[in-house]
Amino acid sequence: MPLQVSDYSWQQTKTAVFLSLPLKGVCVRDADVFCTENYLKVNFPPFLFEAFLYAPIDDASSKAKIGNDTVVFTLYKKEAAMWETLSLTGVDKEMLQKIREKSILQAQERAKEAIEAKATAKREDQKYALDAMMKIEEEERKKIEDMKENERIKATKELEAWKECQRKAEEQKRIQREEKLRQKEKQIEEERKNLKHKSLPRNSSRYLATKGRNLENIFSEKLKEDSIPAPRSVGSIKINFTPRVFPTALRESQVAEEEEWLHKQAEARRAMNTDIPELCDLKEEEKNPEWLKDKGNKLFATENYLAAINAYNLAIRLNNKIPLLYLNRAACHLKLKNLHKAIEDSSKESCSFESIK
């Protein structure tokens, strides 16, 4: 049974009540204080103090100070008035129990409201933080897009400036060529006039005429060289030769043996195509494991790892004695994070390499 504490002192003003409750050895850690607007309780085992207050108080602003074997309460009244007593008198136990239960329910509701308010405030803080983060990310994205746009505009301007410089250089070269041609024409015309005005023997005149024609020919050839069109575009001509199976001369050929050999090769090819359905749509050169290995290497270089694996798979089915096929396929699996398959192909590559040795 707890010991009811009745040795206490209290004072009041119109707005506040000062209660001093002596408890030997009381401390903040062990004392349990419960206060509502009509009920006050202090539990410090084995001591217990209860007070059913005379009038309502403002429990939110009221204070309690624990120390020096005493608990001091400062209770602020809701209505400014003087109390006749600290606790209610002349009230039966059932009424006191109802007041106690009502006070507990009020405290629970307030605690629930405080928890909900705290959760709401937390959600608001998270929403604010998320909005702020999204705003920062949007600003960063816009900044990056602006930088890209500025770089694009700058590169476009530089390209346009370079094109303009190239155009001016080409124009300058064309003007220089035309100027040289005009100078040559003028020089030839002056030489012709000088030759006409000179009085020379017939042979000399003939020689000059011939020289003039030669100069004209030289000039015309220069003009032709300057006006030579651009070379034709490169093309390719496909030439089909008659296939010959054997390079053996006809006089040394054994037709029966050759036909038998060809028949066996055709049968073997048909059997191989039956075993591997993927070879039905392939050309002859595409059925070569070396060709498939090179094709897989090209696909690996373009980062098309799945297609490269398919090429290596078909090559291995055609010839499983080439170690590089397993090694290259292991590299593709490693790029695709298929670690178990990469280890398996690496092990197969080592075994195949030992068998070749």
Q: What is the pLDDT of residues 119-135, one digit of tens each?
A: 999 999 999 999 999 99
Confidence of residue 271 (pLDDT cuts 50, 70, 90): low
Q: Where in the chain is the domain with CATH 2.60.40.790?
A: 3-88
Query: What's the whole-number average pLDDT of the chain?
Result: 80
Q: Is the pLDDT of residue 291 over 50?
A: yes
User: In this structure, which topology does domain 3-88 adopt according to CATH?
Assistant: Immunoglobulin-like (2.60.40)
pLDDT at 353: 45
Q: What is the pLDDT of residues 95-112, one digit of tens each?
A: 888 888 888 888 888 889
Q: Is the pLDDT of residue 350 over 70?
A: no
> Contacts from 7-14 at CB under 8 Å and sequence distance 24+?
8/49, 10/86, 12/82, 12/83, 14/77, 14/80, 14/81, 14/82
Partners of residue 32 on adjacent β-strands: 43
pLDDT at 42: 86
- What is the arithmetic mean of pLDDT over 319-331? 88
pLDDT at 244: 54
Calpha distance 287→295 (Å, rounded)? 11
The interaxial angle of helices 289-301 and 323-335, nearest 10 deg, is 20
**Beta-strand pair 16-22/70-76:** antiparallel
- What is the arithmetic mean of pLDDT over 30-56? 85
- What is the arithmetic mean of pLDDT over 15-42? 86
Least confident of 77-81, 121-125, 175-179: 77-81
Confidence of residue 161 (pLDDT cuts 50, 70, 90): very high
Q: Is the pLDDT of residue 91 over 80?
A: no
Q: Is the pLDDT of residue 281 over 70?
A: no
Picking from 123, 128, 57, 126, the residue whose alpha carbon sits closest to that of residue 86 is 57
Picking from 81, 83, 34, 37, the residue whose alpha carbon sits closest to that of residue 58 is 37
Calpha distance 146→245 (Å, rounded)? 67
Q: What is the pLDDT of residues 251-260, one digit of tens each?
A: 666 667 777 7
- Residue 211, Cα to own-chain centre: how many angstroms? 78
CATH classification code of 284-355: 1.25.40.10
Q: Is the pLDDT of residue 210 over 60?
A: no
pTM here is 0.36
Q: Where in the chain is the domain with CATH 1.25.40.10?
A: 284-355
Q: Is the pLDDT of residue 41 over 70?
A: yes
Partners of residue 48 on adjacent β-strands: 4, 43
